[in-house]
Amino acid sequence: MTSTASSLASSKNLSHSAISRSLLQHSSKPISQRTLVIPTIPRNTKNLYIQRYQKLQIRPNSTSITASSFKPELATAPPPLPLPTPPVTKFKIGLCQLSVRPDKERNIGHARKAIEEAAQKGAQLVLLPEIWNSPYSNESFPVNAEDIDAGGDVSPSTAMLSEVSSRLKITIVVGSIPERCGDKLYNTCCVFGTDGKLKAKHRKIHLFDIDIPGEITFMESKTLTAGDTPTIVDTVLADVGRIGIGICHDIRFLELAMIYAARGAHLLCYPGAFNMTTGQLHWELLQRIRAADNQLYVATCSPARDAGACYVAWGHSTLVGPFGEVLATTDHNEDIIISEIDYSILKQRRASLPLTKQRRGDLYQLVDIQRLNSH
Amino acid sequence: MTSTASSLASSKNLSHSAISRSLLQHSSKPISQRTLVIPTIPRNTKNLYIQRYQKLQIRPNSTSITASSFKPELATAPPPLPLPTPPVTKFKIGLCQLSVRPDKERNIGHARKAIEEAAQKGAQLVLLPEIWNSPYSNESFPVNAEDIDAGGDVSPSTAMLSEVSSRLKITIVVGSIPERCGDKLYNTCCVFGTDGKLKAKHRKIHLFDIDIPGEITFMESKTLTAGDTPTIVDTVLADVGRIGIGICHDIRFLELAMIYAARGAHLLCYPGAFNMTTGQLHWELLQRIRAADNQLYVATCSPARDAGACYVAWGHSTLVGPFGEVLATTDHNEDIIISEIDYSILKQRRASLPLTKQRRGDLYQLVDIQRLNSH
C-alpha cells in the first residue's frame, strides 16, 4: 500500500428532487413491499458512487431476503482479514502518564526514566502520551518540533527512544511529538521495535479543531498538517501483536478503528490529551466503545494534568479489554500503569458475540479506500 | 427506495499472497513515501469491489494530500443530507418502561394506561419497550405474534395503539411486538402518527444470537426472521422530527446509526431488552456513543426487570443528548420517564465539534447501499 491519496476525482451534478418529508400511509400491503419515502440527495450534490453503481448495474432486484443474502463478508471492503494468532498471547503493557514541562531536555530525561521503570516492572510494550516532549500549544509545536526522518542529533527525542527500546528490548509506541518535515509540522506517533528501529510513524489524521464558546477553543489546523494514512504495525519480534495507531481526536472517528479491526488489529493505541470539557464525558466512553464495537484491546495514554498549563489535559490513561471493560486506569496525576493483555481472549469474545458475522453487508459497507487501492 | 436487497452478486477468487507480517525498517526516507506493508486479502476471498475499482481505474495517484483532498462529503455514500429544521424544535418524550406478563390482554391494557399517563404529562412522542405484549422467549413469540398488516381484531396490540395515538394526538414508537407475516415471525417496531395511522414498520435487522457459556445463551434466529431494511420516518404532523429506528441488538451495529445520521435523523429510537450480562457493561455505553458519534438524540426503552422471567431484562430506559450526555434515566423498575428534547441544540453541537466536516472521505467511506440503489 502506498500512502498517497486515492483519486476519487470525477463527479457530476445530479438532478434529484429536494428532500421529501411525506408520510408513509397505513395500507394492507406490507411496508417491506412498498416504496419507502427516503429523503433523496439534494440537487447539485456530487456523487461519484451513484454513477459507478449504476454503470455496474447492481440496482436492487426483487428477490426476497434470506439469511444467505446478508453477506456479512461484504460489510467491510475489502473483506475483513482473519485475526492473526501471535506466538505469545500474554504480555504486560505499560502506560506512562507523564508530567510535561516547557523544558524539552527535562521531558526527554523524564520519559526515559518512566520507560525504564515500566520495563523494570515487566512491560514489553510501553505507551507514552500525546505531545510528551513539549507543552500542547500552537506556540510550542514549532519550537519543539524535530525532524524525525533526519534522526540523530536533529531528533533528540527519537534518538533517546531508539536507544532505550534497543537496550531494554521493548516495543515503544511513542505517544506523539511535534514533527517537522520540510516546511510542515505534524503531530506524529512513532513506534520503535525491540531492535531500536523505527517501525512505523503515524501522523495525526484528524486534526483537533473545536470551538465551544466559553469552554474551549483550539485549532490544531492553525499550525499542523494532517497525516494522510492509517497506520497499522506488526510487532513480530516482540510478540506484542498487530497494532493500529490513532492520536487523540482520531479516536472520535469510528471508521478508523473499524478499518484497523478489519485489517486484523489486536490492539488500538491512542495517545491523547483530552481536555477538561470533553474529558469527563467522552474520554472513557470513546475508548470503551472502540474496544467493544471492534472486540479488541484499546490502550490510551494522556499527559498528567497541569492546572497551570495553557491546555489542561484530562489524564485518565486506560487499558480497555475487548468487551469494553476497563482493565486498568488512573486519575489525572503522573502515574505508570502496568497491566496484562491476553490476546487469546479476543477469539473467545468474538465467538460468544459474533458481531462480524452478524453484520449486514447487504445494507451497509465500510470501505477502506487505501487497502482497496493497494491491490 | 425499495426494501429489496441489492444484488451484489458476481465475484471471483483472487490470488494474493498470504498475510505478511514483515516489519517496516527504519530509513531516511519518510514513511509516507514508502510502501507500507499491509496484510493482503487471503487467497480465495471473494471481493467484488476490487474488480470494480480496478476497472474504474481509481488506483492511488502520487499527488500529495492537501486539506482540499480530504473529501469529507464522500465519507458517506451517498453524501450526508442536511439536517432538517422542524417547525417546532422542543417537545416532551415519554419512555414507558413497562412490566410484562404472560397475559397479552393485560399487557395491552397496561400499555394503554401508561401511554395515557405519559400523554397527560405532556409527552408528544411516546416510546414503548421491545416485546411489550409478550414474554421475551422463543416459546412465547409465536403464541403472541400478530398479523400487523391485517390489522383490526387480528392485531389487538396495534388496534389499541392506533386508537390511543389518534385519540391523544401523539406519535407512538411502539417498541416491538412479535409479528406474523405468512409463515414467518419478525420482531417488529411500528410507528403510529397523531392521526392513528401506521407510519412505518421496522423489522429487527440484526437478530440477537449470543452464546456466553455459563452466563447467557439466546438465539432469536431459532424462531425469528431478520428484517431487510433500515427504517427512518418523518413525523411531519407531530413535529417530533426525523426518527431512525433500531431494535435492541441493532444498536450494536454502528453502521445503522451512521446511515440514519447521514439520512438526516434527529433522533434514534431503540426499544431494547438488554440482559443481566451485557446490560451493565454495554447498554448505556452504546446509547451514549451512538448519540455522541452521530451528534443526535438517542432514546431507549426496556421492559422493567422481572427476576422470575426466563429472560431477565436490564431495564434502565434512557434519553441521551447529542453530546452523549444522559438527560434522563431510571433503574430497573417500572417507570415512565418524561424528558424534553430540543432539536435546536443539534446544530450548535455540530458547529462546535464539526465531526462530519472533519471526516476523511479520502481514507474511508460508509456506503448506505439501499439509499445508493434508490437513485
Distance from CA of B58 to the nearest CA of A (A): 6
Report the distance separating Cα A324 and Cα A298, nearest Å.
9
The answer to whether residue A42 scores a pLDDT higher than 90 is no
Contact A261, A80 (CB under 8 A): yes
List phi, psi (to 5°) of B70.
-70, -30
Amino acid, res. A269: C
Q: Spell out which residues of chain A touch residue B212, defining contact as CB-CB under 8 Å.
A: 352-353
Which residues between 208 and 247 in chain A have a beta carbon less than 8 angstroms from any beta carbon of chain B?
A: 209-213, 221, 226-237, 242
If contacts are CB pairs under 8 Å, which of residues 331-360 in chain A contact chain B?
351-355, 358-360
Residue type, B124: Q
Q: How far is A308 from chain B (nearest CA, A)?
A: 25
Question: Residue B21 — very low, low, confident or very high, per pLDDT cuts 50/70/90?
Answer: very low
Q: Report CB contact under 8 Å: A362, B8.
A: yes
- What's the average model confidence in pLDDT over B109-114? 98
Least-confidence region, from A31-45, A330-344, B188-202, B251-265: A31-45
- Cα end-to-end distance, chain A, whole Å: 8
> Phi and psi at residue A177, in whole multiples of 5°?
-135, 160
ipTM here: 0.84
Asked if the Cβ–Cβ distance from B228 to A61 is below 8 Å, we say: no
Averaged over A245-252, what is the pLDDT? Answer: 98
Whether B201 is catalytic: no
The DSSP secondary structure of A137-201, one letter per residue, reads: STTHHHHH-B-TTT-GGG-HHHHHHHHHHHHHT-EEE---EEEEETTEEEEEEEEE-TTS-EEEE
CB–CB of B63 and A193 under 8 A?
no
User: Is B362 within 8 Å of A201 when comparing Cβ atoms?
Assistant: no
Chain A and chain B share a number of CB contacts under 8 A equal to 402
Residue B336, SS3 per DSSP: strand
- The burial class, CB within 10 Å (0-12 / 13-18 / 19+), for B365 is buried
Q: Is residue B238 very low, low, confident or very high in pLDDT (cuts 50, 70, 90)?
A: confident
Is A18 within 8 Å of chain B by CB? no
- pLDDT for res B228: 96
Burial of A194 (0-12, 13-18, 19+ CB in 10 A): buried
pLDDT digits (tens, 9 = 90+) for B186-228: 999 999 999 999 999 999 999 999 988 888 899 999 999 999 9
Distances in whole angstroms, Cα of residue B53 to Cα of each of A78, A369, B134, B256, B373: 11, 10, 49, 25, 18
User: Which residues in chain B have Cβ-Cβ distances shorter than 8 Å to A252?
Assistant: 293, 355
pLDDT-wise least confident of A33-42, A142-151, B216-225: A33-42
> What's residue A14's pLDDT?
25
* Chain segment A80-99, per-residue pLDDT in tens: 999 998 888 899 999 999 99
| Three-class DSSP category at B367 | strand
| CATH architecture assignment, domain B90-358 | 4-Layer Sandwich (3.60)
Could you confirm whether A301 is annotated as catalytic?
Answer: no
Confidence (pLDDT) at A67: 57
Asked if residues A77 and A366 have their Cβ atoms less than 8 Å apart, the reply is yes
* DSSP 8-state assignment for residue B174: -
Chain B neighbors of A373, CB-CB under 8 A:
53, 58-60
Instruction: Give the mean pLDDT of chain A.
Output: 84
Is A248 annotated in the active site?
yes
Tell whether B152 lies on the interface with A, counting CB pairs under 8 A.
Answer: no
A-chain CB neighbours of B9 within 8 Å are 58
Name the burial class of residue A14, with classes exposed (0-12), middle (13-18) and buried (19+) by CB atoms within 10 angstroms of its CB.
middle
Q: Look at A50-54, A205-209, B101-105 and tell me which has the smallest mean pLDDT.
A: A50-54
For chain B, percent of residues with pLDDT exceeding 90: 75
* Domain boundaries defined on chain B: 90-358
